[in-house]
């Protein structure tokens, strides 16, 4: 079936920065088959017509670092940095120690609902409990890269069990049209032995996938590698063959500047999570310098125990302002570049740049619509569209969300998730969690 979308503004995010005002987008099932001004793509082209003449249509946002079950812990890390060993062990590990698999589905459904509501169409998750996360994500209709969390447990039996379970998970997703399995070591060097890193790389090679990790959150890896091997963490990653694979590196706050060239030459992506690092009292990543060096950069929310919100519009706003603040330079990273990070940058990170990240002929219809009659857009002609999107509006302007040409949100109503039921269950799970904590 052919669907014609009539957009008030069609923001493509293609390489040329093409904007049609108004613009028409023609879909055949899940694919974009034509787009342009109304005289090029006429009203008669579609079997059905969707009237978004009061809306801006743009590519869906990509959240490149999440831990979806952690919605259960939202509010429980206030005033605590989960980036420090103390916060990690005494807060997070304590919570994770009393939570169980039965509490995962509701938390993941709430996370998916919040991402959909605020215009995210694709996300990269990393956590354990992946086999409990997957069915909820599958039902939500979101596109996802699900990294099976691997925690090095020290003894050979548990290590083999972890690797076998991760392998089975990746195998189960090998034919999935929308969801891809990734490998999810928590962090290299900090809590993974070289032996398990070798096994993880074997797995990534076999399933043609990448590794989703935390990297350079603090100088832990750098110090460890300098002290033990006499080289930087990035050099050691190269030595071990890690940089031959796509790497989603959450935070990337303390990356050694001398190593930028090596990272730019590999499929490494620095995933900036500004709220999470700010709320933890950690410095801002060198976003401007990493981008200038040619490193792929993108944005994630991280867990909402730290960051509290899944709204990537807010996260773009904060990322842009934080880079201005860091550099003491207005416009340090322009709004258009920030939006590029949250769309094409995310697609590149996941190896899906030929499918998503921009609205172009041949790509998939992963798109969102924003209400142009709502606050923040004007005056027309003064504030450019990228500045409005990054600084003036929020995810609550999103009215519609499509993945693969299917509505996940229609007129601000969820189509695939049961938000109220999931929140009720989340509240009950929290009561139980709290009882176990006391
Ligand atoms: Zn994280």
Which pLDDT tens digits describe the chain residue by residue (438 residues)?
A: 999 999 999 999 999 999 999 999 999 999 999 999 999 998 888 899 999 999 999 999 999 999 999 999 999 999 888 888 888 888 998 999 999 999 999 999 999 999 999 999 999 999 999 999 999 999 999 999 999 998 766 677 778 888 999 999 999 999 999 999 999 998 887 777 888 899 999 999 999 999 999 999 988 889 999 999 999 999 999 999 999 999 999 999 999 999 999 999 999 999 999 999 999 999 999 999 999 999 999 999 999 998 999 999 999 999 999 999 999 999 999 999 999 999 999 999 999 999 999 999 999 999 999 999 999 999 988 999 999 999 999 999 999 999 999 999 999 999 999 999 999 999 999 999 999 998
Domain assignment of residue 423, yes or no: no
pTM of the model: 0.97
Give residue 315 CA to ligand 1 midpoint distance, Å: 15
251 CA distance to ligand 1 centroid (A)? 8
How many angstroms separate the alpha carbon of residue 8 from the centre of ligand 1? 37
Task: Note whether 40 and 74 are same-domain residues.
Answer: no
* CATH code for the domain in which residue 382 is found: 2.30.40.10
Residue 387 placed within a domain: yes
pLDDT confidence of residue 153? 60
Tell how far the Cα of 239 is from the centroid of ligand 1, in angstroms: 25
397 and 369 in one domain?
Answer: yes
Assess if residue 430 is contained within a domain: no
Could you tell me the distance, in angstroms and rounded to a whole number, from the CA of residue 214 to the centre of ligand 1? 6
Question: What is the CA(260)–ligand 1 centre distance, in A?
Answer: 22
Same domain, 213 and 287: yes
Same domain, residue pair 253 and 344: yes
CA of 82 to the centre of ligand 1 (A): 9
How many angstroms separate the CA atoms of 36 and 27, rounded?
Answer: 12
CA 293 – ligand 1 centroid, Å? 24
338 with 375, same domain: the answer is no
Q: 316-346 b/e with 16+ CB inside 10 Å = b?
A: bbbbbbbbbebbeeeebbebbbbbbbbbbbb
How far does residue 173's CA lie from ligand 1's centre (Å)?
A: 23
Which structural domain range is residue 24 located in?
2-59+355-414
Burial 278-315 (b: 16+ CB within 10 A, else e): bbbebebbbbbbbbeeebbbbbbbbbbbbbbbbbbbbb
How many angstroms separate the alpha carbon of residue 394 from the centre of ligand 1?
Answer: 23
Question: How remote is the CA of residue 80 from the centroid of ligand 1, in Å?
Answer: 15
Question: What SS3 class is residue 54?
Answer: strand
pLDDT value for 245: 98
What CATH number is given to the structural domain containing 219?
Answer: 3.20.20.140
Residue 436 lies in a domain: no
Look at the chain and report how many structural domains it folds into.
Answer: 2
Classify the C-alpha dihedral 369-370-372-374 as positive or negative: positive
Whether residue 147 sits in one domain with residue 251: yes
Is the same domain home to 43 and 76?
no
CA of 285 to the centre of ligand 1 (A): 15
**Domain presence at residue 424:** no
Tell me how far the alpha carbon of residue 212 lies from the centroid of ligand 1, in angstroms. 10
**29 alpha carbon – ligand 1 mean position (Å):** 35
What is the distance in A from the centroid of ligand 1 to the CA of 182? 15
Please provide the distance, in angstroms rounded to a whole number, between the alpha carbons at the two ends of the chain.
56
Q: How far is the CA of 65 from the centre of ligand 1 (A)?
A: 6
3-state secondary structure the chain: CEEEEEEEEEECCCCCCCEECCEEEEEECCEEEEEECCCCCCHHHCCEEEEEEEEEEEECEEEEEECHHHHHHCCCCCCCCCCCHHHHHHHHHHHHHHCCHHHHHHHHHHHHHHHHHCCEEEEEEEECCHHHHHHHHHHHCCEEEEEEEECCCCCHHHHHHHHHHHHHHHHHCCCCCCEEEEEEECCCCCCCCHHHHHHHHHHHHHCCCCEEEEECCCCHHHHHHHHHHCCCHHHHHHHCCHHHCCEEEEECCCCCHHHHHHHHCCCEEEEECHHHHHHCCCCCCCHHHHHHCCCEEEECCCCCCCCCCCCHHHHHHHHHHHHHHHHCCCCCCCHHHHHHHHHHHHHHHCCCCCCCCCCCCCCECCEEEEECCCCCCCCCCCCCHHHHHHHHCCHHHEEEEEECCEEEEECCEECCCCHHHHHHHHHHHHHHHHHHHC
Distance 304 CA to ligand 1 centre (A): 10
Cα 91 to ligand 1 centroid, rounded to whole Å? 14
Last residue of a domain, one of 320, 349, 378: 349
Q: Are residues 366 and 389 in the same domain?
A: yes
Residue 154's pLDDT is what?
Answer: 66
Peptide bond into 30 cis (omega under 30): no
194 and 316 in a single domain? The answer is yes
Of 197, 229, 223, 224, whose CA–CA distance to 211 is shortest?
197
Q: How far is the CA of 249 from the centre of ligand 1 (A)?
A: 9
Question: What's the 105 CA to ligand 1 centre distance in angstroms?
Answer: 19
CA-CA distance, 202 to 207, in Å (whole number)? Answer: 9
Q: Which of 318, 349, 380 is the last residue of a domain?
A: 349
How many angstroms does the Cα of residue 302 sit away from the middle of ligand 1? 5
Q: Is residue 438 part of a domain?
A: no
Q: How far is the CA of 3 from the centre of ligand 1 (A)?
A: 38
**Span from the CA of 123 to the centroid of ligand 1 (angstroms):** 13
């Amino acid at each position: 079936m052919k669907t014609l979308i009539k957009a008030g503004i069609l923001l493509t995010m293609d390489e040329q920065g093409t904007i049609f005002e108004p613009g028409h987008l023609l879909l055949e099932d899940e694919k974009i088959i034509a787009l342009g001004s109304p005289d090029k793509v006429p009203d008669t082209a579609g079997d059905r017509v969707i009237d978004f003449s009061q809306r801006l249509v743009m590519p869906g946002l990509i959240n490149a670092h999440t831990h979806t079950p952690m919605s259960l812990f939202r509010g429980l890390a206030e005033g605590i940095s989960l980036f420090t060993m103390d916060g990690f062990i005494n807060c997070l590990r304590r919570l994770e120690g009393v939570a169980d698999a039965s509490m995962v589905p509701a938390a993941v459904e709430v996370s998916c609902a919040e991402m959909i509501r605020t215009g995210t169409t694709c996300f990269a998750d990393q956590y354990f409990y992946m086999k409990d996360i997957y069915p909820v994500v599958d039902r939500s209709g979101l596109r996802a890269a699900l990294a099976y969390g691997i925690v090095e447990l020290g003894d050979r039996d548990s290590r083999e069990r972890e690797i076998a379970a991760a392998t089975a998970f990746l195998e189960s997703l090998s034919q999935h049209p929308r969801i891809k399995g990734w490998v999810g070591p928590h962090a290299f060097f900090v809590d993974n032995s070289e032996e398990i890193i070798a096994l993880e790389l074997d797995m990534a090679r076999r399933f043609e996938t990448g590794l989703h990790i935390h990297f350079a959150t603090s100088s832990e890896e750098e110090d460890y590698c300098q002290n033990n091997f006499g080289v930087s963490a990035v050099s050691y990653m190269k030595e071990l063959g890690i940089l031959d694979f796509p790497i989603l590196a959450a935070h990337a706050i303390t990356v050694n500047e001398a190593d930028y060239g090596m990272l730019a030459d590999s499929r490494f992506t620095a995933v900036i999570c500004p709220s999470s690092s700010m709320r933890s009292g950690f410095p801002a990543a060198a976003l401007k310098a990493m981008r200038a060096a040619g490193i792929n950069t993108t944005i994630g929310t991280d867990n909402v125990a730290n960051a509290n919100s899944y709204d990537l519009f807010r996260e773009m706003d904060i990322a842009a302002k934080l880079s201005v603040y860091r550099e003491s330079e207005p416009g340090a990273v322009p709004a258009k570049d920030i939006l590029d990070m949250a769309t094409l940058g995310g697609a590149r990170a996941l190896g899906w740049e030929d499918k998503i990240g921009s609205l172009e002929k041949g790509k998939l219809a992963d798109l969102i619509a924003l209400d142009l009659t709502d606050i923040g857009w004007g005056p027309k002609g003064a504030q450019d569209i990228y500045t409005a999107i990054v600084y003036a509006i929020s995810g609550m302007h999103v009215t519609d969300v499509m993945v693969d040409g299917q509505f996940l949100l229609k007129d601000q109503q969820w189509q695939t998730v049961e938000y109220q039921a999931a929140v009720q269950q989340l509240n009950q799970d929290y009561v139980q969690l709290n009882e176990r904590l006391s």
